[in-house]
Amino acid sequence: MDTVVYDPFFQDMPRFFNCTFKELLASKHPTAWVQFEEDEISEEELLRIFFADGRSFDGEALKRHMAGCYRYLDGMEALLQRLAAAGAELHACSNYPAWWQLIEERLALSRYLRWTFISCQGPMKGLRKPSPESYAAVVAHLGLPPERLLFVDDRQANVDGALAAGIPAIRFEGAQALETELLRRGFQL
């Protein structure tokens, strides 16, 4: 999120609840979202305990709202198309709950990448970046030496985690900057 696809968690989720992000953080359950990302709790449980004070809300409306906000970041769909056409093997590596399926339904990212490493399922289930275990799961699953991979993320802590695991990494600062760095590193687009 916020590398290929816009993440509505920080602006649009608070807007749904008619509050600021700071107010949302202060009122939501302190661990529910992360537990949902790691598949420790179900969507039903997330919606039941979302707010620390137990207030209820329309969970289906929240999902529809979030789904309507997902969009490619500027230039990313075209870059993914070129990378896929050039034969790059692309995988999502995301701290995200089962709602990744809403993104897939809206944007069909699977045309360009595999949803291989998601914190709620697969080889990375229950793990979140930047834990060393999350990167170890990626390396083990792909069966490649870490130096043969390239990790791209918008958060410096995640980039630092990949680098510490021996995986070359780029901090995402926009599609054009990423393309420039890929070309500098010898990628053919």
Give the pLDDT of the chain (189 residues) as one tens digit per residue: 899 999 999 999 999 999 999 999 999 999 999 999 999 999 999 999 999 999 999 999 999 999 999 999 999 999 999 999 999 999 999 999 999 999 999 999 999 999 999 999 999 999 999 999 999 999 999 999 999 999 999 999 999 999 999 999 999 999 999 999 999 999 888
**What is this structure's pTM?**
0.92
- Count: domains in the chain: 2
Shared-domain flag, residues 82 and 175: yes
Does residue 58 sit in the same domain as residue 134? Answer: no
Establish if 1 belongs to a structural domain: no
- If asked whether residues 121 and 36 sit together in one domain, one would say no
Domain end among 69, 88, 111: 69
- Is residue 6 situated within a structural domain? no
The CATH number given to whatever domain includes residue 177 is 3.40.50.1000
Is 5 a member of any domain?
Answer: no
Q: Please write down the HEC assignment for all residues of the chain.
A: CCCCECCCCCCHHHHHCCCCHHHHHHHECCCHHHHHHCCCCCHHHHHHHCECCCCCCCHHHHHHHHHHHCCECCCHHHHHHHHHHCCCCCEEEECCCCCHHHHHHHHCHHHCCEEEEECCEHHHCCCCCCCHHHHHHHHHHHCCCHHHCCEEECCHHHHHHHHHCCCCEEECCCHHHHHHHHHHCCCCC
Q: Report if residue 4 sits inside a domain.
A: no
**Domain residues for 33?**
12-69
